[in-house]
């Protein structure tokens, strides 16, 4: 019996729509799109921009925001980020300077404000991770900064996603986690170059955090052009 062969249509990318003014924006490195991504509430996330700067958050093409900062978390900061962002926000809720019940309360506030997930820092006690996981219904992202972390205890406490941030040791730690836990979602810092990002992806990272240039660094080139009486670059 003859069966008609179905040839799928070619998928051509249409012309990009970047506008006139907003085409000047930040773009995450293309190499990040080689990772698998993590699925959170039906959305695939491959790139996360590491920033709490609202002007950068509104002018970057990352899939999500990882909003952690070196001060004690405050709900008003989370609220401002969520108000400005049009992509998912993973909100930092402490675990370093801020510990105990305050972390649990901040996580609960973040969920109520609309965060997609919460991030706790590496020193967070497993008991706190457990209390957070029992209190909220969004993913708990646990930061990993050391190779000797007890990953099994973290998972048993309720960690849903690992966020590996260990400088030069990041790929090795990612590889170690992936070998032991093939299905655990891993976010990881990719480093400053395409090669370092690829190394992290090959080690097993599902999503990559990208640190954008600061406003000062972006302005440096713009102001240099203006001083030479040249148009906006």
pLDDT above 90 (res 63): yes
Determine the Cα–Cα distance for residues 103 and 108; give it in Å rounded to an integer.
9
pLDDT in tens, 77-104: 999 999 999 999 999 999 999 999 999 9
pLDDT in tens, 123-166: 999 999 999 999 999 999 999 999 999 999 999 999 999 999 99
Per the CB < 8 A criterion, the answer to whether 203 and 34 are in contact is no
For position 22, what pLDDT does the model report?
Answer: 81
For the chain, give the percent of residues with pLDDT over 70: 96
pLDDT in tens, 206-220: 999 999 999 999 999
pLDDT in tens, 171-230: 999 999 999 999 999 999 999 999 999 999 999 999 999 999 999 999 999 999 999 998
pLDDT above 80 (res 8): no
For position 4, what pLDDT does the model report?
Answer: 60
pLDDT in tens, 31-45: 999 999 999 999 999
Across-strand partners of 199? Answer: none
Determine the Cα–Cα distance for residues 23 and 211; give it in Å rounded to an integer.
20
Per the CB < 8 A criterion, the answer to whether 94 and 106 are in contact is yes
Per the CB < 8 A criterion, the answer to whether 95 and 122 are in contact is yes
Per-residue pLDDT band for 2 (boundaries 50, 70, 90) equals low
For position 188, what pLDDT does the model report?
Answer: 98
What is the residue extent of each domain of the chain?
30-227
| pTM (predicted TM-score) | 0.91
Per the CB < 8 A criterion, the answer to whether 215 and 53 are in contact is yes
- Where does 30-227 sit in CATH, by number? 3.20.20.60
Q: What are phi and psi of 34, to 5 degrees?
A: -80, -15
For position 16, what pLDDT does the model report?
Answer: 82
* Block residue for tokens 């099994």: 152
């Amino acid at each position: 019996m003859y069966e008609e062969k179905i040839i799928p249509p070619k998928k051509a990318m249409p012309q990009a729509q970047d506008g006139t003014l907003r085409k000047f924006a930040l773009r995450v490195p293309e190499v990040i799109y080689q990772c698998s991504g993590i699925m959170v509430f039906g959305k695939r996330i491959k790139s996360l921009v590491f920033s709490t700067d609202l002007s950068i958050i509104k002018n970057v093409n990352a899939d999500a925001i990882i909003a952690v900062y070196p001060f004690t978390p405050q709900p008003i900061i989370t609220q401002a980020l969520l108000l400005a962002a049009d992509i998912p926000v993973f909100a930092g809720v402490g675990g370093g300077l801020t510990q105990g019940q305050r972390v649990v309360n901040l996580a609960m506030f973040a969920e109520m404000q609309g965060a997609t997930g919460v991030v706790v820092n590496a020193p967070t006690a497993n008991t706190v991770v457990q209390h957070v996981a029992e209190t909220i219904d969004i993913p708990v992202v646990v930061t990993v900064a050391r190779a000797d972390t007890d990953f099994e205890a973290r998972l048993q406490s309720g960690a849903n996603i690992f966020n590996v941030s260990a400088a030069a040791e990041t790929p090795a730690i990612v590889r170690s986690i992936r070998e032991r836990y093939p299905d655990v979602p891993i976010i990881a810092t990719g480093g400053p170059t395409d090669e370092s990002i690829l190394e992290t992806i090959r080690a097993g990272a599902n999503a990559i955090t990208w640190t954008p240039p600061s406003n000062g660094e972006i302005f440096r080139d713009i102001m240099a052009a203006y001083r030479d009486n040249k148009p906006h670059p």
